[in-house]
Amino acid sequence: MLIIDMVRKINAMTGFTHAAGVEVTIAEQGLVEMTLEKKPELLQFNGFFHGGVIAGLADHAAGAAATTSLPPGKIAVTIDLHINYLAPAKGPLLVAKAQCVQTGSTICVVSVALSSVADQQATPCAMATVTLRVVDMPPLA
């Protein structure tokens, strides 16, 4: 299975990302990009993307980026996540670019850059560092 097909398969099987409408735009070894379009159920009361949704997308993209860098049969699950919010995510599209910084046999570390896109202009809105643990992948039914 191609890397991007595996990432899309997990994305589609995951209630949160499927319902939110997360799209997988890039998935290579150690690098994943995902996008999310604005919808009412993803917003803060001021109409911008909710910080929790931004953290959620960062977490999901990080898990995917780490997993693509692991041997087949292994998956990375988040131990801890640290996210800094840099600017309100005002635009209609949220983009998360997750890049593996370290892939170990037990621990992975992933950096995630998050941008708000409006009128084809990307503005950084958050950055996250995610620490993950390598475990055996459960069967994907």
Task: For 109, list phi and psi in degrees, rounded to 5.
Answer: -125, 130
Is residue 139 a contact residue for a second copy (CB under 8 A)? no
Distance in angstroms (rounded) separating the CA atoms of residues 12 and 81: 23
**Tokens 């005002």 map to which residue?**
90
Is residue 96 a contact residue for a second copy (CB under 8 A)? no
Is residue 93 a contact residue for a second copy (CB under 8 A)? no
The region of 24-32, 33-41, 64-72, 115-123 touching a second copy under the rule CB under 8 A is: 33-41
Is residue 30 a contact residue for a second copy (CB under 8 A)? no
- Token representation of residue 138: 């459960």
Is residue 34 a contact residue for a second copy (CB under 8 A)? no
Q: What angle do CA 61, 57, 45 make, to 5 degrees?
A: 170
Min dist CB 63 to a second copy, Å, is: 8
Min dist CB 21 to a second copy, Å, is: 10
115 CB burial (10 A radius; 0-12, 13-18, 19+): buried
| Window 10-29: residues binding a second copy (CB under 8 A) | 10, 13-20
Distance in angstroms (rounded) separating the CA atoms of residues 119 and 135: 41
Distance in angstroms (rounded) separating the CA atoms of residues 129 and 58: 9
Beta bridge partner(s), residue 141: none
Is residue 83 a contact residue for a second copy (CB under 8 A)? yes
Using CB under 8 A, list all residues that contact a second copy: 10, 13-20, 39-46, 50-53, 55-60, 63, 77-86, 101-102, 106-107, 109, 111, 124, 127, 129, 131, 133, 138, 140
